[in-house]
Every structure is written in structure tokens, then in C-alpha cells.
Chain A
Amino acid sequence: MDLLPTAFAVLYQFGDAFAFLVIASAGLAVIFGMMGVINLAHGEFIMCGAYVTVAVARLGVPLPLAILTGALVAGLIGMLIERLIIRHLYHRTLDSIVATWGISLIATQGVLIVLGSTMQGVGTPLGSITVGSLSYSTYRLVLMGMALVLLLGLYLLFYHTRYGVVSRATIQAPHMARALGVDTGRIYSLTFGFGAALAGLAGGLYAPTMTMVPTMGATFIVESFVTVVVGGADIFLGAAPAAAVLAVIRASLTAWQGQLFGQIGLLIAVIIVIRVLPGGLSGWFLRTGR
């Protein structure tokens, strides 16, 4: 095999794993990092985004627009749930875990009862490209690009907009922020909704490549939690580098020994990180930076 196609194959697999980890975990990282809420309904927001995307796309709406609709609907539902349930459980981590788990069970079973056990997909757009002797899905290259755009967008949002400054202030010192006239309740609500919208976006982006079933969110859960745990609370110092490291581990182990070892590698990485760096990568960066 020539060098160039081989290099492309390796890069493609790395990029594919990286994109999945970043896109799947962004929503979870925002909600956990900014609000300290461990959202076990993350997978169901992803499922919601995917279902809305497919339903809208099947009405004839162009796919990018359908994906945005999926993210928007997931975000609105997220804000509603924050108002009704999550709001009462801030600083009660264990209670919020149980509550979000309950929401996820209700969502999965509710979708099963109302919409049935499966839904027809929309098919992956954009066809394939051939490099060397292997062919690749073009859409997955788009997903890799989307992961980078997503990281850049989040960075700009949290560090270069008024919402970003206010929300970070709300997280770090809620009393001070309130004293300065920030409506912290609104910020919490917006942030939770934003996290849910990111989950919905993940669902929308991956919907064309997957089976549409009520339990589809569960297949994102392990990867997203692993990324957030390894990364720690900060999405830029933590989740992005964590996704890169985990993508290398996963892609190389899967290429070497198959899917099972890819899974095992991810989980071993988490165990080591929890043992050695309890604050995750971002905690370690912040400590050594000081």
C-alpha cells in the first residue's frame, strides 16, 4: 500500500473517532462543566434531535435545515425540563442524576409507545470518495469538519460574547453575578437549553448514518461520559484534548484488534485518568498552569 493512502486511512479513522467523541459529548460537557449537573438524559436529547431531524427531512426539508430544527427542538425541550425539574435540583447532584435518569426512561418508553419500535431513516447523503484501494463516506468527512466548527463556535461563544462572560460569571460566583444584576435563573435555563440543543445537534448530524430506534441515544452515552470524565469540567482545556487522546487510543486499538479492544481501551483510559488525575485533563492543565 502506498504511503499517502495509508496516511489518509489512518487520519480518516482518527478524525472519525474524534468527531464522534466531540459531537457526542459537547452537550454533556456544557451542562456538566457550566452547571455541575450530570445529565443522564443526554442520550435522549440526542435521540430527540435525531427523530426530529429525520421527521422534518422526510417532509422534504433540506438536511442541514432539518438538523438545525432537530437541535432547536431539543433545546426548547431542554429549557422546558430545566424550568420544570432541573431548576429545583441545583447543588443536589445525586438527586439530579436520579431525576435525569427518570426523564431518560420516560422519553425512551414514551417514544416507543407513541412512535413505535423503529422509524425509517433518511440515508446518508453525499456518496463516497476513493483514496487508493479504499473508499470512504464523504458525509463522515463533513462530520469531522463539523466537529472542528463546533469547537470553534463554542470557544467564540463562551469567550467572546456577552452571554459567554455572563454565563461563566454565573457559574463561578452566582451571588456576585446576581449582585451585579445578572438574571442567573435565565442564564441557567439558557445554558441547559443550549446543552440540550448541542445534544440534539449530535443526534441530527448522526441520524443519517444510524438506525432510528428509541434506544439510539444509549449508543452515544458511554463515549460521551468517557470523554467528559477524562476531560474534566472545562470543555476547551478538557473535552477537546480528551477527545483527541481517546480518538488515538480508540482508532489504533480498533485497527489493531477490532471493536472490542477499542471499547476496552476507552474504559481503561477512564480508569487510569480517574486514578491519576481526579480533576480530569482540564484539572491537570489548570494545576500545572498555576
Chain B
Amino acid sequence: MRNTSRRYQGGLALALLASAAIAVGGSALAQEAIKIGVLEDQSGDFAAATMVKVHAIELAAEEINAAGGIDGRPIELVIYDTQSDNTRYQEFMRRVLQRDQVDVVFAGFSSASREAYRPIVNQFDGLAFYNNQYEGGVCDANMIVTGAVPEQQFSTLIPWMMETYGNKVYTIAADYNFGQISAEWVRNIVAEYGGEMVGEEFIPLGVSQFSQTVQNIQAAQPDFVVTLLVGAAQASYYEQAAAANVGLPMASSVNVGQGYEHKRFTPPSLKDMYVTTNYIEEVDTQESAAFLEKFRAKFPDEPYINQEAANSYIAMHLYKQLVERAGTTDREALRAVIAEGDVCFDGPSGRVCLDPKSQHMSHTIFLARVTEDHSIEFPTVWENIEPYWLGEAGCDLTQNDPSEQYTPSSPPPGN
């Protein structure tokens, strides 16, 4: 009797377990999570500018999940720390695409890291969002770029600076693809507007001592200096230039908007730094205030909410819209939605839209000026600038997919 009772109980337990498993399996099937890989630098030389991107993605994921997920499916983030190291990017990109089987990847700060992982995304035919401003020119169907590009940042900034301060320009740039190609853009725009490059110097990443560079700049007597410096080590330039009393206005596409140098350095070392950015936390609009409030509520200790944080947040919402409109996470279906040309989002930086030809994003560009006490003012704003260069140069991802990066000196073939 005891025996049967035990057997009976055992059977009951088994049945219970089985039914529970079916219930769990069933519900998982009904709303299988959408997996998003996040590869950003949470340590190393770039961490200061990129930790906030991870937080922005977490914020957006929490928000979207609380509102019912993407098309009823919850978001699951797969986050790895890429340590400001290009080989880590390649390693982790293989891992998220092969082992973790993510639906989409949000990845990359430096252009070197992007070019390191891009062939892997192509190889496994994945989809990656690059949420960073950069030197432009990536024409690749596997990539969606939400960061600003030179026609948005330099074609606005350089003519404005030349009109305000004069025609003689000196560029110092980080010595890798970002700095070299950005410097080429600056050189071209300066020539186009009848200015003169009085000097150009490329600084290896990791260099922190700038005495000679400061002296070269002073000797060349430019009207303003274009600073395209990257990473924490190179940021030492501002302190050293200020200590030597260089006193020249500076123009940049990367400072303040990424590395919040105006918060980290002692005033007035960044006085008269001008930056074109699509978002920084000083932007004083209703959308920005709402974004900041949500961000600070979840991450009260965040040192600075920069343009890359806004772009990452926007990218999450754009992805949600793409998947919901396509009804699937299949990349070609998502691209068909982009090709309709009306994928837009009203986010922290105002209204932004995806361009079907280049899969880049339109931006409202703010000109930020750092004042003597390191507060920010906005002398001018350029509304809604399209990422037009790639399309005009001959990149059309709705027709073909060259998976190349083009520059003004090596444009798409046949043009």
C-alpha cells in the first residue's frame, strides 16, 4: 500500500513537472526574447566615453520591455566588455553571432574597432548598429549607422569657424583611419572655402606629451586649431596647450560631445572649443529634458550623458520600429522597411530619420561652444541635415551592397 501510494505520488509529481514544462515552453514560444548583442568598451583607453552607451541601451531595453517589448517579445541584452581592444571586438563579434545567436549587434566606438569587426558581420551575414559619430563612408548593407558623419559635422563647422576666426587652419588628429580621413575632409573643405592649411600633424594613439606640437602650432600662427584627438591619453593636449597659453580657438567633431573634456579639465583650458554634435546633455529642449530625467533616475551617478548615449538610445527605438513594421527580425525584411524611406524617431535630439541609400541617419546639429568657465552655449543650430555624401557619391544600398568604406579621395567606382 505504501509502495503504491509512493508510486502514485511520484507519478503525480512527474505529471506536474511535465505540465509545468509544457506551460513554460509554450509561453517561451509565444514570446521568445529578441537577443541584442552589446559590444562596447567598458574598460581601457576609451571607457570614459563609452560606458554611458551601455547604460543608454540598458535604459532603452528596460523602457521597451516595460511597455510590452518589441512586438510582444522581450529584449534580452548580451553584453560584453571589449576593453578598447580591436581583437576583443573580433572575438566577441564571432561569439555573439555564432554562439549567442543574437538578432542584432550594437557595437563599437573607435573606427579601428568598427573596421575590425565589420568583415565578421559580413561573413556571418549579421546586422550591426554603429552608434558613433565617425569619418563617414561606410556603404554596407549589414551596417546601420546612427552617429553623425563629416557632411553633418565638418561641412557645418569648418565654414562657420573660417567665417568667424579666419582662414588659416592647423589640424592635429589621431593617427588612424578616423583621424586621417577626417583630416582629409577638413583639408578639402578649407580648400573649397579658400582657406589655407598652415599645418597638419598626426598623433599616435596613446601619446600624452605635446610640448613640441604646441610649439609647432604657435610657430605656424593659425587662426584656429582643428583637434581630432581620441582617447584619454591624447586629451592631455588641452591642459598642456592651455598651460603654454596657446589661446587659439579650437574646432572638433569628437571633443565635448564624447569625452566631456569640459567637465574633466580645469577651466579655462577648453575655452573657445567649438564642437558640432547631434546631442549633449546641455541641449535645452523638452525632449532632452525628458531623456535626461529618465537617464538620471536609472543611473544617478552617470558622469555625463553624451551624443553617443543619445544615439544608442535612438538606435534601440529605431530597431524596435523596424522589427514591428517588418513583423520579423530578418535583416532583408528590415532593410525593405528602411527602403520605404520613412523610418523616423522623435528622440532626445529631436526628429531623426534613416536614409535608405546609405543606412545612415539625419541629424539636427548643435554647435556647442565652451565658455571661459566651461559652461556650454549654442551659437547656432543646423536643423535636420541629411547624411547626403554617400548617396551623392554613388552608394545605393537599395540597389547593391559593396560593403566598402569610401573616402573623398577613394569614392565609389564609376563616379
Which A residues lie at the B interface, using CB under 8 A? 9, 12-13, 16-17, 20, 108-109, 112, 116-124, 127-128, 130, 133-137, 139-140, 208-216, 218-219, 251, 254-255, 258-260, 262-263
> Is residue B45 within 8 Å, beta carbon to beta carbon, of the partner chain?
yes
Q: Is the Cβ of A16 less than 8 Å from the Cβ of B219?
A: no
Q: Is the Cβ of B240 less than 8 Å from the Cβ of A213?
A: no
Of A108, A120, A134, the residue contacting B218 (CB under 8 A) is A134
Q: Is the Cβ of A209 less than 8 Å from the Cβ of B218?
A: no
Q: Is the Cβ of A259 less than 8 Å from the Cβ of B203?
A: yes
Residues on A with beta carbons closer than 8 Å to the beta carbon of B206: 218-219
Q: Is the Cβ of B202 less than 8 Å from the Cβ of A209?
A: no
Most buried by B among A119, A124, A137, A211: A211
B4-48 vs A, Cβ < 8 Å mask (1 yes, 0 no): 000000000000000000000000000000000000000111011
Contacts A128-B244, A137-B244: A219 and B212 contacting too (C-beta < 8 A)?
A: no
Q: Is the Cβ of B208 less than 8 Å from the Cβ of A219?
A: yes
B208-241 vs A, Cβ < 8 Å mask (1 yes, 0 no): 1101110110110000000000001101100110
Q: Is the Cβ of B264 less than 8 Å from the Cβ of A118?
A: yes
With contacts A17-B209, A137-B211 known, what are 20 further pairs, Cβ within 8 A?
Answer: A12-B211, A116-B301, A117-B303, A120-B263, A121-B265, A124-B239, A128-B245, A133-B218, A135-B218, A135-B244, A135-B246, A140-B244, A211-B239, A213-B233, A214-B43, A219-B207, A251-B212, A255-B212, A259-B213, A260-B203
Q: Is the Cβ of B240 less than 8 Å from the Cβ of A137?
A: yes
Which B residues lie at the A interface, using CB under 8 A? 43-45, 47-48, 51, 175, 201-204, 206-209, 211-213, 215-216, 218-219, 232-233, 235-236, 239-240, 242-246, 263-266, 269, 301, 303
Contacts A211-B233, A212-B264, A216-B233: A259 and B212 contacting too (C-beta < 8 A)?
A: yes
Q: Is the Cβ of A255 less than 8 Å from the Cβ of B232?
A: no
Residues on B with beta carbons closer than 8 Å to the beta carbon of A17: 209, 211
Of B43, B215, B233, the residue contacting A9 (CB under 8 A) is B215
Q: Is the Cβ of A118 less than 8 Å from the Cβ of B239?
A: no
Of A109, A121, A260, the residue contacting B266 (CB under 8 A) is A121
| B265 → A minimal CB distance (Å) | 6
**A-B contact list, 17 entries, CB within 8 Å:** A9-B215, A108-B43, A118-B48, A118-B303, A119-B264, A123-B266, A128-B243, A140-B244, A209-B240, A211-B236, A212-B264, A213-B47, A215-B44, A216-B233, A259-B202, A260-B175, A263-B204
Residues on B with beta carbons closer than 8 Å to the beta carbon of A258: 201-203, 213, 216
Bound-complex Cα distance A144 to B233 (A): 21
**Across the A-B interface, the 6 shortest Cβ-Cβ residue pairs:** A123-B266, A137-B243, A124-B243, A128-B245, A213-B232, A219-B208
Most buried by A among B209, B215, B263, B266: B209
Q: Is the Cβ of A121 less than 8 Å from the Cβ of B218?
A: no
Bound-complex Cα distance A208 to B264 (A): 12
| B244 → A minimal CB distance (Å) | 4
Q: Is the Cβ of B44 less than 8 Å from the Cβ of A211?
A: no
Q: Is the Cβ of B48 less than 8 Å from the Cβ of A117?
A: yes
Bound-complex Cα distance A262 to B216 (A): 14
Residues on B with beta carbons closer than 8 Å to the beta carbon of A117: 47-48, 51, 303
Chain B, Cβ-Cβ closest to A126 = B243
Bound-complex Cα distance A247 to B266 (A): 29
Q: Is the Cβ of A210 less than 8 Å from the Cβ of B243?
A: no
Q: Is the Cβ of B233 less than 8 Å from the Cβ of A219?
A: yes
Contacts A212-B264, A219-B233: A254 and B212 contacting too (C-beta < 8 A)?
A: yes
Q: Is the Cβ of B264 less than 8 Å from the Cβ of A210?
A: no
Q: Is the Cβ of B207 less than 8 Å from the Cβ of A263?
A: yes
Q: Is the Cβ of A136 less than 8 Å from the Cβ of B244?
A: yes
Q: Is the Cβ of B236 less than 8 Å from the Cβ of A209?
A: yes
Chain A, Cβ-Cβ closest to B47 = A117
Q: Is the Cβ of A116 less than 8 Å from the Cβ of B175?
A: no
Of A128, A134, A251, A259, the residue contacting B204 (CB under 8 A) is A259
Bound-complex Cα distance A136 to B246 (A): 9
Bound-complex Cα distance A169 to B167 (A): 65
| A20 → B minimal CB distance (Å) | 6
Most buried by A among B202, B203, B240, B243: B243
Residues on B with beta carbons closer than 8 Å to the beta carbon of A213: 45, 47-48, 232-233
Q: Is the Cβ of B211 less than 8 Å from the Cβ of A121?
A: no
Bound-complex Cα distance A250 to B216 (A): 15
Bound-complex Cα distance A245 to B7 (A): 88
Residues on B with beta carbons closer than 8 Å to the beta carbon of A123: 239, 265-266, 269
Q: Is the Cβ of A211 less than 8 Å from the Cβ of B235?
A: yes
Bound-complex Cα distance A258 to B215 (A): 11
Bound-complex Cα distance A258 to B179 (A): 15
